[in-house]
Structure formats: C-alpha cells, structure tokens
Structure 1
Amino acid sequence: MALMNHRNRQQPAVVPEPVRRIEAGPWAIELLPGAAYATRYVASQSAIGFAFDSQRGVHAIGSDRVRPFDAMPNGLAFVPAGCDVMSESPMGGEYLRVIRTDGIALAGEHAFNNRIDPQAIHLASRMRRALLNASVDDDWQTWALALAERTEGKDTLSLQGSITGNRMRLLDEFIDAGLDGPLALHTMAQLLELSEGYFIRAFKQATGKSPHSYLIDRRLARARALMRDSRASLAEIAFACGFNSQAHMTSAFKQRLGVSPAQLRAGSRHIPAIGKKPNQW
C-alpha cells in the first residue's frame, strides 16, 4: 500500500526530485517523488493518498501481519487516525498526500487503497500540475475537499478484474524493458494472454486509464528519472524513452504535467516549499 505520513526514505545514489508541499487553510498537501522508502508510524491524523505509479513492497496496515502489496497506478488510498502503519518499497512511486491539520477528522474508519475513481484521478492530476508549477494561485482548498469527498461512502474494495497485481508487475517489467522503442497494444495483450479488445477494457477498469495513456506516463517517469540521474541532453533522453523527438517529449510533458522538461530540470534543484511548511504532520 502506498503510504501517507512520515517516510524515512532510503538514501539513493543520487538526489531525488524535491518533495513539493503547500499549506492551504486547514490542508497540508505534498507531492512525493518516486523513491525507495521505509516507514513505520501510528497515524496521528487521517490522510488521503493517491498513487500515480504502480508500487510494490511489503506492508502491515492496522495489524502486525507483514505481507506483500501491489498498489495500482491511479489508486486512491485512505488511512484513518490511530491506524498502525508499516510499509517498505524498494522503488516507491510518485505519490500525492493530503492531510487535514485543524483537528477535524476526515470521514472513514477503515484503511484502503487501489480504489479507482475517475474524479479522484482528475483532481490528483490537477493538483500535481499545480505543485510542479509551484503556484499559490490555485484553488487548493476546493480541490482538497473534493478529493476527501471521494473517500466517502463507497465499498473499500477495488475490482481489478483480469489485471491483477501479478499481471501488472509483468506488464511493468515488459514496458520498462522496451521503453526506448515502440510498444504495440496487441503485444502487451498477448503477454497477458488476453485479446486486444478485452485487454483495453480490463486495463481501464483496473487503472482508470487506457494502456496507451499509461505507456506515456511510464515514458515520462523514465524521462524524469534520467533528467535527475544523468547529464544526458534532453534530446538523448527523449530517444532513450521512446519519444520521436525532444519536441514530442516536451509536448507530452506540458500536456500531462503542465511544465516543460527544461523547466522541470532547471527548477528541481532549488524548489522551495509553497506556502508555510508544517513542522510535523
């Protein structure tokens, strides 16, 4: 399960993208970059999370039983106040965390993750774009409240259908191995022993997005990692991630993230917190 609250991140060989955070009224909002993490805590406040990437590791949520987890991309998550949490992931994934800090409890008594909600996907993506652009002129309180409402009044179990955690892992490994070239839908479907039409429908049900859209997200994630971890030119990075050109990659960045690769690379070194940084969440 992708985690909310303090992450004691393992130190990578390179400096990761910065954590981007903002305080807006009673809300504290963070965008955590993809990185390995290990954490254990008792949640002092209930928290909402959103996993942009698939994540894998081990966790124990509300119990002392440690077991493997697979967090699906675009999965909404919730941890109630007082819940015991332990979680570790060797890779992690980009993650949005939203906490109400004024003592008013969020609705919900049970922890969950992997809930696919189209409105939550739209809200989380919009908040990520704003955080990457370091803007304080957005309607943060409205967005946070709307995202909190998506955690209420639903069954806490997600129906993944044919795209199980194991199949998602297999697909991720296949995509990551071939990101520097074209990847056809029918090839991905064959890998999972599904027809192309069924694969598209099942993938959308499990992740809230099309396989093509997910493939672009994986290319962008790889590009961001290379921008951070190497001195390669943006043109070299574009081709290494399967984009036709640097202009093609730039267009995808602006459309999905609201910022160009050059802007993100230049700004990541010295991104201050937006608004007032809380001392402890």
Structure 2
Amino acid sequence: MLDIDPKIFSISRPSLENYRAFIQRDMIVETYRSSAGQMASKGSLHRISINRTAHHRYAYRLGTGSFHKVNRAPFTLGFQPATIPLEVDGDEAEYISIFQSPKLYSNLINGDFNPEHLHGDGLSATTDPTTLQVALSLALAVEQADRTDPLLVEHLGMALVCCVVRLLGAGPVPSERPMTSENLKRVIDHIENLLGQADLSVGELASLAHMSPFHFSREFKKVAGVAPHRFILERRIQRARLYLADGRETLASIAYATGFSSQAHFSSVFRRLVGVTPKEYRHSIRL
C-alpha cells in the first residue's frame, strides 16, 4: 500500500485487497477493495471517494459531530474536505479514492469554494455519468501507470474538480476572458521550446496565458481545434518522426528526448496516433 506522508494526509483503514495507486503532481489516485471495519482520516488534501459496490452497512462522522447511518448505493461520491477529520464504519466495498490539493479548487474557481462549511449530507452525492467516466479514466491510469500520459491525467484531475463542485452545488465556475492570438502564440512557442520536458503541465501553460487551468484548456481547444494535452502529444510525435527518420537515436533516447515518461508510453502513443509502432515506422521509411 502507498505510504502517504502523514504530514500531508493521515489515514488508517481495514485491510485492503487489489490495492493500486498512482501519484502525479497534486493528486493521488487509488483503487482497492476494502474489508469491513473502521477508517479514520485527516489531512491537508481533499479526498474524493466513489464506492463501486454498494454498502449494506455504513456510518460516518465528519468533524466532531455524531455518527450518521446512511444508505450508500453504488457509485456514491463522498467528499472529505482538507483538515476535517472523517471516521467511517462500514462493510466491505470496492473503491476509487482520489486525493487532490485544495489549490486545484481555489485556482479553478478563484477561491470561492468552502466545502468545510457544507453540512455532512451536502458532501455526498450520486455520481453522474460524466463524473463517473472521469473517475474511471483516472482509475485506468493506475492500471497502466507506465503508459499513462501525465498531461491527460492532469486534465482529468481538473475535470474532476469541476464535476465535484457542480455535484456538491458549491458554486459556479466563474467566466473568464477568451484566448487571444498573442497568448496562443506565446503558449505554442513555449511548448515547442520545452517539448522534451516530461513535466510540462497544463497549469504551466495556463499561467502563461493568464488563465485558470480549466478555462485555458477549453479556450485552447476552441482556437487550436484540439485540447492542450492532445496538441502536445501530436507535436511530440511529429518531432519523434524526425528522430526516427534521422536514424541515429535509439527508441528509448527518442522517447525521453520528446518528453515521454518511458519507451513503452512513447510506443503506445505513437501506435495510437500513427497506426504503426516506432520500429515499424522507422523500417518503412528506410525501404
């Protein structure tokens, strides 16, 4: 099981089966089956939990209040605000659990999100299809860690923030100004200059455009025709084609030179976008 720094988040749980975890920037994603028993947690991260199977017995206490027994149907989303302790006593269930930094929420909705002021029942909601799809996509990142695109995971994390805020009725996402041609050029130039850096992030690009990350992603897609993570992937593949045509670098070297986290991730994306593997592509242009 993943060791989370107790200074960031402290959690004690019953025994877990089929546990897997994925960490990226301001987010941790877990998938597991929890045995029956008690859980206690508190930390500086927001925690979103979605039970993939129903609880027949479930009681919780948020903060210093009393325990509440509730029906927890499959795909119920629970939100534990940062700094607020949570205790749970329930039977076994399968879970997707996601930890996110509060700054992701404050950056997106300009600080107008105060979940610690919501009533306990207001921090739980039936998951809608869009939110569930985002959560399942994040869970898939856990299953395919060596082939997962960090930019896509970052985008999914921002999408989850919007879904959570909407489900909890905690306030609308404010409107922002549109993307200008000057900002777009600045962002694209930055991408081209730093294409080989694996840690290139949507948040970094959004700051160049003076926008919140989620609004930036929407505006970029409007003017560029594709989402930022897709644009960067396509530019990385185009540069990889040049390396493959040159023929002097190994596939592993090309993967790291074009910002992919591993050769496996590079090969997976290349085949998905081009239709053949990098090795097959290199062979075809030498015929």
Q: TM bucket by the smaller chain?
A: 0.3 to 0.5
Q: TM-score, normalised by structure 1?
A: 0.46
Q: Which has the greater radius of gyration?
A: 2
TM-score, length basis structure 2: 0.45
Higher helix share: 2
Taking CA–CA contacts closer than 8 Å with sequence separation of 6 or more, which of the two structures ends up with the larger relative contact order? 1
